[in-house]
Amino acid sequence: MQYSDSLPAHNAESLLVHFRRVELLKQQATEFKSISLNPHQLCDLEMLLSRAYYPLDGYMCRDDYERVLDSMKLADGTGWPLPICLGVDEGFAKSLEKGECVGVRDAEGFMLAVLTVSEVWQPDLEQEAKAIWGDVSQADGVNASLSTLENPWYVGGRVEGLAFPQRYDFTDIRLTPAEVHRYFSQKGWRKVVGVQAGRPLHQADRAMLEEIANEEGASVLLSPLMFPSMYSSVDHFTLVRCMQEFVGTFPRNKALLNLMPWFERKMGPKGALLRAIVNKNYGCTHMLVWDSGKAEPRLNVLTDEFQEHIDWLDKQQENTGIIPIKERCMVLDDESKKFVSSDDGKLCANDHNGIVSLLTQGKEVPEWMSFPGVLETLGKTYKPPSKQGFCLFFTGLSGAGKSTMAKVLYVKMLELNDRPVTLLDGDIVRTNLSSELDFSKEHRNLNVTRIGFVASEIVKNGGIAVCAPIAPYSESRRQVREAVEQYGGFVEVHVSTPLEVCEQRDRKGIYAKARAGIIKGLTGVDDPYIEPQNPELRIDTSELVPSEAAYVVLNFLRSSGYVGRGE
């Protein structure tokens, strides 16, 4: 890479520059163009600034990029498996000149770094995927950091850090690589196994780590994987809290929990090499490699591909300086009720999904599977339907009976009084949330997705949302379902009362107005209603009184466990 000589040397522990340089750069920044990073890019910047990506001191330029793709080496010959490039829009890329400074900002516009542009080029992303995967058809998720860009170009150049990205969660366990390394030295940890995990760990994992640590005479550095958009993810907090409980089961001097801004790049075997280098930069000597090909429920056999992967990682030790350790199959010894490693092909009883499934069915999780603290934490997120939030979503024509049923159900849920209940009837929403919207397709979809957003927040916090918009289009109904199902149950009730019956009822006189041409675009008359294909329930209220129709819904809620049987 070529850089301007006038750039100051970085402090060895991070790419943050001296505060006087920070002041100068902030003064000059009014003249700089800016780039705002997406959550994945923010993680990469933090890895650069903290030197988790040592020896990189900025975004790769073309010579490094091409050599990395070609032979897994930087231009100076240092081993490096994957490109670390900054993707920007084509228009922005073309506006840049060599040597100019760009302010690198977070989503709120806070300037975190200044990038001095060395090179700008348009990558051949297909070529890139081929070089990384060999087989482009598998190249899923290669460029997560480019996902928000339409036609990405790369900008290479050295980075001067002004501040680390602001993180507000778990700040006491966010040590930089230098701080982690210092911790190891103070504790006298000469050998450390880096373990990154994307799911909570349980008894079998604990037994495996203990076995490995004892054999190697090593301690353990445990890091949960980051979800870059974590603030919308309950899972991030659950995962970290479970990890805190898990690490507490180790003797004090044996394990350290630390959050690194590392997200799973899904970059195949080369991704594991990058993780190896990062582990090395945190001071680890070994790294646990999980068998990602293993099916759930986990068969107690490691796949052949996994063995090949480990052998390959082994051969890369001169590039990474890290000894890979493969995941072991653990089985429960019936007599001692302890987990031991084995490769006899038995079914491994300890799988995380199995534990979650027991919790969501309201069943007891056997002691040997996990730890009380981990289960208590998991239990707050994964609840049986009777304890979790859910959304009851009525959809159908005007006059079909949605609002009446919604009101009956709302009252029934209030009577039960075990979860907070909110009614989001079409009229209520149109008055309070969507008063500026009309009945065009675009506005109807917006109206419905707004309802979905509010409902998902209610469900996230354990409440019941009863919604009753017409919701004539499948795309917005699907979006609502997706938004809600991240956090709890979704029960779609298609109130399928035929148009003739709705028109006959015409309580609001709206059909008469439509037929007289006074209002246009009434759903069912001269605007479409796309019927749901797979609703949880379909109810025609032509022949039912409202309480009977509501009873059908209540029965469904009972049989699927959302409310207790006696209620």
- In the complex, which residues of this chain contact ligand PPS (CB under 6 A)? 398-399, 403, 426-427, 429-430, 439, 444, 447-448, 469-472, 508, 510, 519, 521-523, 527
User: 17 vs 470, which CB is nearer to ligand PPS?
Assistant: 470
CA within 13 Å, CB half, 452? 23
User: 124 vs 500, which CB is nearer to ligand PPS?
Assistant: 500
Within 433-539, residue ranges assigned H as helices are: 441-460, 474-485, 499-505, 510-515
* Residue whose entry in the numeric block shows the structure tokens 């909110």: 422
User: 41 vs 496, which CB is nearer to ligand PPS?
Assistant: 496
Please tell me the distance from the alpha carbon of residue 328 to that of residue 285, in angstroms, as a whole number.
Answer: 19
For 536-558, give the DSSP string.
SEEE--TT--HHHHHHHHHHHHH
Provide, rounded to whole angstroms, the least separation between the CB of residue 449 and ligand PPS. Answer: 10
Provide, rounded to whole angstroms, the least separation between the CB of residue 62 and ligand PPS. Answer: 51
Provide, rounded to whole angstroms, the least separation between the CB of residue 475 and ligand PPS. Answer: 13
Helix (H, G, I), strand (E, B) or coil at 313: helix
Using alpha carbons, select from 467, 472, 507 the residue that is nearest to residue 396: 472
Provide, rounded to whole angstroms, the least separation between the CB of residue 192 and ligand PPS. Answer: 57
User: 402 vs 412, which CB is nearer to ligand PPS?
Assistant: 402
Judge whether 192 and 186 are in contact, CB under 8 Å: no
* Residue whose entry in the numeric block shows the structure tokens 């009614």: 423
Indicate the residue whose CB is closest to ligand PPS: 426
Please tell me the distance from the alpha carbon of residue 560 to that of residue 358, in angstroms, as a whole number.
Answer: 16
Provide, rounded to whole angstroms, the least separation between the CB of residue 312 and ligand PPS. Answer: 55
CB atoms within 10 A of CB 248: 13
User: 302 vs 514, which CB is nearer to ligand PPS?
Assistant: 514
User: 129 vs 467, which CB is nearer to ligand PPS?
Assistant: 467
CA within 13 Å, CB half, 55? 12
User: 377 vs 456, which CB is nearer to ligand PPS?
Assistant: 456
Provide, rounded to whole angstroms, the least separation between the CB of residue 393 and ligand PPS. Answer: 11
Provide, rounded to whole angstroms, the least separation between the CB of residue 453 and ligand PPS. Answer: 14
- Contacts for 281 with CB less than 8 Å, ≥ 6 apart: 51, 52, 53, 54, 177
Helix (H, G, I), strand (E, B) or coil at 304: helix
* Residue whose entry in the numeric block shows the structure tokens 């051969």: 315
Please tell me the distance from the alpha carbon of residue 488 to that of residue 514, in angstroms, as a whole number.
Answer: 39
User: 381 vs 447, which CB is nearer to ligand PPS?
Assistant: 447
User: 103 vs 469, which CB is nearer to ligand PPS?
Assistant: 469
CA torsion angle for 101, 105, 109, 112 (degrees, to 10)? Answer: -100
Burial class of residue 432 in the structure, from the number of CB atoms within 10 Å of its CB (0-12 exposed, 13-18 middle, 19+ buried): exposed
Phi, psi of 490 (to 5 degrees): -135, 120
Provide, rounded to whole angstroms, the least separation between the CB of residue 86 and ligand PPS. Answer: 42
Burial class of residue 49 in the structure, from the number of CB atoms within 10 Å of its CB (0-12 exposed, 13-18 middle, 19+ buried): buried
Residue 174 CA to chain centroid, in angstroms? 19
User: 224 vs 472, which CB is nearer to ligand PPS?
Assistant: 472
Provide, rounded to whole angstroms, the least separation between the CB of residue 463 and ligand PPS. Answer: 21
Asked if residue 297 has a cis previous peptide bond (ω within 30° of 0), the answer is yes
User: 381 vs 398, which CB is nearer to ligand PPS?
Assistant: 398
Provide, rounded to whole angstroms, the least separation between the CB of residue 409 and ligand PPS. Answer: 15
Helix (H, G, I), strand (E, B) or coil at 56: coil
User: 102 vs 448, which CB is nearer to ligand PPS?
Assistant: 448
Provide, rounded to whole angstroms, the least separation between the CB of residue 397 and ligand PPS. Answer: 7
Residue 551 CA to chain centroid, in angstroms? 38
Supply angle C-alpha 282, 288, 292, rounded to 5: 125
User: 388 vs 398, which CB is nearer to ligand PPS?
Assistant: 398
Provide, rounded to whole angstroms, the least separation between the CB of residue 537 and ligand PPS. Answer: 18
Using alpha carbons, select from 323, 202, 198 the residue that is nearest to residue 262: 198
Please tell me the distance from the alpha carbon of residue 61 to that of residue 94, in angstroms, as a whole number.
Answer: 16
Helix (H, G, I), strand (E, B) or coil at 58: strand
Provide, rounded to whole angstroms, the least separation between the CB of residue 551 and ligand PPS. Answer: 21
